[in-house]
Amino acid sequence: MGILDKLFGEFVDVIEWTDDSSDTMVYRFERYGNEIKYGAMLTVRESQTAVLVSEGRVADFYEPGLYQLETRNMPILTTLESWPHGFSSPFKAEVYFFNMRRFTDLKWGTKNPVMLRDKEFGPLRLRAFGTYSIRIKEPLTFIKEIVGTGGHFQTGDISDQLRNLIVSRFASIIGESGIPILDLAANYDELSNYITQMISPEFAAYGLDVLQLLVENISLPPEVEAAMDKRTSMGIIGDLSRYTHYQAAEAMEAAAKNPSGAANEGIGMGMGFAVASQMNRAFSQQSPTTPPPLPGSVVYYAAINGHQQGPFERPVLEQKINSGEINRSTLVWHAGLAEWTPAEQVPELAGAFAQVPPPLPNS
């Protein structure tokens, strides 16, 4: 600045700040040599607060309104200045304007995945992101702890530090909560409120107030999400054997629609062999591992210990009678009986009980 700037600065008597940005938190009013004319008018608009700093110390604090900078309006500053020229010369001071409005849509997110242990899936890595909003709560604390001597302070100058605080608390809370991974989406609101409460004291130490913090998304690594999608698909398919039959039938129908030709015939034969092999495996899984009873033989079912067991052929049933596993009152059934019948009342089994002593009297 030259001599003209100095002369112009002494004649300017209006100190104000109109913010045409959306992220400026603190602005220092620029004057040549920080000289302010005695009697200058200070305009503090709504959503603003002004602080007058003299000789490195906060001299006065101004809420929204119109002020004339005179000794009767600056009792604190009067004690700091000697006023050797009859209170009429320019004085050196700095005016800082604080934007007291709410700063919204600030972003936070995890740079690196957060490690935790889930009860169902074991060790997992999570990523999370969201938004938060802040407001200057204590201008004097904010200028002492954060702004310092900077003349133009924006949200980007502190957003990294605030994001680190949020991510650190998020990692601690999500690790201690014990909420299953599949239930996290249903607890976004609770997590948001709890994280807000946890970080509020740390924001207050900077002179800031965190108004709202939102958890927008918590995601798993792509490979884990792909594995969960496969698991979900298997749950939707249900009976894998029936699904295999359906796929085989679809493949056979598609092969039948292929146009004829040497190459296509070879492809069709290959598909036919593959489908036949797949169907053979599917049918073999459903085939019984033991042969059925011989034709004409009678099989029996018995109610042992309150559970239906069988089928048993007659020799096996007689062995159980001799061993005492089946007694006279044990209910048995075979094809041809109208209902479950005590074993000693079944004619073909009555002979087996001839060698088994009856129960003791009054037993």
Last residue of a domain, one of 70, 99, 128: 99
H, E, C per residue of 201-233: HHHHCCCEEEEEEEEEEEECCHHHHHHHHHHHH
Query: Does residue 233 form part of some domain?
Result: no
Instruction: Looking at the structure, tell me whether residues 38 and 125 fall in a common domain.
Output: no
Q: What angle do CA 168, 199, 161 make, to 5 degrees?
A: 55
Pairing of strands 41-44, 14-15: parallel
Omega before 311 within 30 of 0, i.e. cis = yes
d(CA 317, CA 338): 20
Q: Phi first, then psi: what are they for 270, rounded to 5°?
A: -65, -45
Instruction: Looking at the structure, tell me whether residues 85 and 110 fall in a common domain.
Output: no
Query: Does residue 130 form part of some domain?
Result: yes
Query: Does residue 20 form part of some domain?
Result: yes
Q: Phi first, then psi: what are they for 345, rounded to 5°?
A: -95, 0
Tokens for 213, please give them: 């913090």
Per-residue pLDDT of the chain (363 residues; tens, 9 = 90+): 455 454 444 445 788 998 888 899 999 988 766 677 777 889 999 999 999 888 778 888 899 999 888 766 565 554 445 444 444 556 778 899 999 999 999 999 988 888 888 887 788 888 899 999 999 999 999 988 888 877 889 999 999 999 999 998 888 888 787 788 878 888 888 889 888 998 999 999 999 999 989 999 888 878 877 877 777 776 666 666 666 766 777 777 777 776 554 445 555 555 555 555 655 665 555 545 556 655 657 888 999 888 888 888 888 888 888 888 888 889 999 888 889 999 888 888 888 887 777 766 765
Tokens for 183, please give them: 């239930």
d(CA 159, CA 104): 12
Instruction: Looking at the structure, tell me whether residues 166 and 217 fall in a common domain.
Output: yes
Instruction: Looking at the structure, tell me whether residues 120 and 208 fall in a common domain.
Output: yes
Buried-state track 308-325, b at ≥16 Cβ within 10 A, e below 16: eebbbeeeebbebbeeee
**How many domains does the chain contain in total?**
4
Look at the block and give the residue holding tokens 């909420």.
Answer: 179
Instruction: Looking at the structure, tell me whether residues 162 and 256 fall in a common domain.
Output: no
State which H helix or E strand residue 270 sits in.
helix 262-286
Is the Cβ–Cβ distance between 83 and 162 less than 8 Å? Answer: no
Instruction: Looking at the structure, tell me whether residues 64 and 127 fall in a common domain.
Output: no
- Residues 6 or more apart whose Cβ sits within 8 Å of residue 234: 240
Give the bridge partners for 19, in sequence order.
Answer: none
> Whole-model pTM?
0.57
Tens digit of each residue's pLDDT (9 = 90 or more) over 133-181: 999 999 999 988 888 877 889 999 999 999 999 998 888 888 787 788 8
d(CA 316, CA 294): 14
d(CA 124, CA 275): 39
Instruction: Looking at the structure, tell me whether residues 162 and 53 fall in a common domain.
Output: no
- CATH code assigned at 308: 3.30.1490
Last residue of a domain, one of 99, 125, 153: 99
d(CA 238, CA 233): 9
Query: Does residue 291 form part of some domain?
Result: no
The 8-class DSSP code of residue 259 comes to P
Instruction: Looking at the structure, tell me whether residues 153 and 184 fall in a common domain.
Output: yes
Instruction: Looking at the structure, tell me whether residues 29 and 58 fall in a common domain.
Output: yes
Q: Domain range spanning residue 192?
A: 103-223
Query: Does residue 232 form part of some domain?
Result: no
Tokens for 112, please give them: 């690196």
Instruction: Looking at the structure, tell me whether residues 199 and 114 fall in a common domain.
Output: yes
